[in-house]
Structure 1
Amino acid sequence: MTLPAGRYVALGDSFTEGVGDPHKHLPNGVRGWADRVADTLAKDRSGWEYANLAIRSKRLRQIAAEQLEPALAMKPTLVTLYAGGNDVLDARTNITEVLRQYEEMVAALSSTGATLLLFTGYDIEVTPALRVFRRRNHVYNEGVRGIAARYDAVLVDYWRFEAYRDARLWAPDRLHMSKAGHKYLASRVLGILGVEHSMKLLDRQPPPPRSLLQWERAQRRWVNDWIVPLVHRKIRGVTLGDDLQPRWPVPVAVPPRGGLRRLAKSGYSSDEGAGPTT
């Protein structure tokens, strides 16, 4: 696949926003695989524009309501969509209804004529208590595969990427990719698009095993730092994305040298779009 320079629009939740890949100089304090893809596209061929509408914690219905129409109005030539992962982890979710809404989104995006990339979801092994959601994730993934085939979309079968068995590719919360995980996914997406890159990926040697004591301490720290706050947020009915705006809400011209980080350092304002502030 060879892509001419065009307009890349990314839709979704924390997966696409870039959570787990911190960067203090970029909007919302994260970078992520989609930014890395946009940077490499611009480096490979100047003229690329990029918008990222993804916001952490969003359910599919929210992504459809808040991101779809703005994305269509941007007239993209390349679109990535990951949506539904948060729905799979909601106990009362009707997966059949989620997939129906997902297909409606895909149909609308496909009608633009843009190259469309869809993602399956990974089976995250964080705790035995969450294994009950694996069957639902499998149903969701099969639905995504079928929808991708029906609309001639490009499938990024994230579920099959065995590299993510390496704990180093996961952030401390064990639910989001780490910096290394985002870099690896960016490399896979770029490979699918036929774009060369120079990203340095982790040595695939497995980390040394932990002792039982080290494992127990890590488990306690994980529960205290991540699970307890997550439960409290669910009880209060709030999410980490409630007060956030899209990181790149309008298409910006990605500098071939320095990429989005250079743009951010130049004084980019998401309220004004591309270009330095005055």
Structure 2
Amino acid sequence: MKIALLGSGVMGSAVLSSIAAEESVTEVSVTDVRGEVARRVAGEAEDRARSEGYAVSISGGTVGAAAVRDADLIVLAVKPQHMDTLLAQISPHLPGGSPVVSIAAGLPTAYFAQRLPVGTPVVRVMPNTPATIGQGVSAISAGEHATEEHLDLVEALFARTGLVVRVPESQQSVVTGVSGSGPAYVFAMIDALAEAGTAGGLPRALALQLAAHTVAGSGAYAVESGQHPALLREAVSSPGGTTLAGLGELDERAVRAAYLAAVRSAAARADELASQLAGPADDA
């Protein structure tokens, strides 16, 4: 299978690493308006693929019709504000029936249906930044012409970026609020924990190390145990102990309510951005 990856930024590079590991992929063409960046990213990925035994050829260059003309699948990894220009360039050259995968935040599949040949299968993916180390979350949704087989294929291609889940497209904004923006909430928590440790007399580097590993370990434990987080919290909270004292402070300051509000606000902003970006093609 030949894949065209359009865009070689952080998320595009993360997707490339996962795609290259899928055994059905034989060739990946990485393109970008910054041709030298695409060539560098492709070269690094090809070296990695070779060292790990993947039988895939990876090349890089500037965006053009040749990148998509014979592709079996096209991945769009450019910023939303650049998507109109890209689609105008490639739409006349897309192979009939080849699925298009978008990882552009906020753009619904209807946006692509207006700008691509009629009947083009589109799959929308919302990844997050931990995907760059294979610990991310990617939520996928099918457009009007995408089938179960297309979703299966995208799941396989994104498997090495971390957890892949399927959601109705109507839930993508909430997904953005939870897992898309979620890493920033967690980073803010790590920073706050480290700051508290430093205020208590710990060296800054040690405080950061303790905070980051505590969050990473707690998340891994929650996933592996499969238990409800309330039960895990209770297991740490001895009656009259230190943890309950700390949790009392969080409750007093409505930290839980703040997280709920943060997700709602991020989801609402995702809806707002989608409405701004996804107007009719004639308005572009």
Q: TM-score, normalised by structure 1?
A: 0.31
Higher helix share: 2
Rg (Cα) greater in structure: 2
